[in-house]
Amino acid sequence: MLPELMTDPTETYAELHTAPEPPLLAQLTRETHLQTLLPRMSSGHVQGRFLSLLSHLMRPRRVLEIGTFCGYATLCLAEGLAADGVLHTIEIDPEREARIRRYVAAAGVAERVRLHIGAALDVLPGLVGEVWDLVFIDADKRNNGAYFDAVIEQVRPGGLLVVDNVLWSGKVLPAHALKAGDKDTPLVRAFNDQAARDPRVEPVFLPLRDGLLLLRKK
């Protein structure tokens, strides 16, 4: 289960000095908090604007998102797509499909977003012909390494992978004492260490929200 996000008084200040949350995304945020059990899994205002900024800067033709949830990050990433760009997003829970499709349609990007329902490691082999400009990994954290390994060879040189929740509410920090039965934190730590050493990528670790790891493919 996703742990509680760290709270910081700078978060409100950051929101006040970040481009406003678009009305459709604000509506999705309200609906997510009212109708889902884990609304904190949504990217939210500042992180969403950051993902949108990356997409606008890159103008990607092919985007892959692993872990759609409510579709918030999907819409943010779709904002900067190239004119002929397509975004593939993978969601494991079929009960979320209707909401995702409704908001994708409301955003006017239904023809440019390909939603795949199923476990990502089952879906990804069917996308082996794609070359990714931008990949956002935000699914179950135990499989971060498996998702990275599954897609890294399909990311173009100069392309970008972004991995969410790499701070894991601060539990990855050396000073944090692991609790008995905590199987997630050691795997998040191991992936972070693996990515930092991988010669194929240049990593930048950002303490934004619950942590974003940016990996530029060399």
For residues 163 and 148, the answer to whether their CB atoms sit within 8 Å is yes
Taking the mean position of all CA atoms in its chain, how far away is CA 205?
14
Q: Is 69 helix (H, G, I), strand (E, B) or coil?
A: coil
For the segment(s) 10-217, the CATH number from 3.90.850.10, 3.40.50.1110, 3.40.50.150, 3.30.300.30 is 3.40.50.150
For residues 190 and 197, the answer to whether their CB atoms sit within 8 Å is no
| C-alpha closest to that of 59 among 205, 158, 163, 203 | 158
The residue to which tokens 């990607």 are assigned: 60
For residues 166 and 212, the answer to whether their CB atoms sit within 8 Å is yes
Domain range annotation of the chain: 10-217
Taken as a whole, the chain contains a residue count of 218
Between CA 66 and CA 12 the distance in angstroms is: 28
Query: Would you give per-residue pLDDT tens digits along the chain (218 residues)?
Result: 344 444 568 888 999 999 999 999 999 999 999 998 888 789 999 999 999 999 999 999 999 999 999 999 999 999 999 999 999 999 999 999 999 999 999 999 999 999 999 999 999 999 999 999 999 999 999 999 999 999 999 999 999 999 999 999 999 999 898 888 899 999 999 999 999 999 999 999 999 999 999 999 99
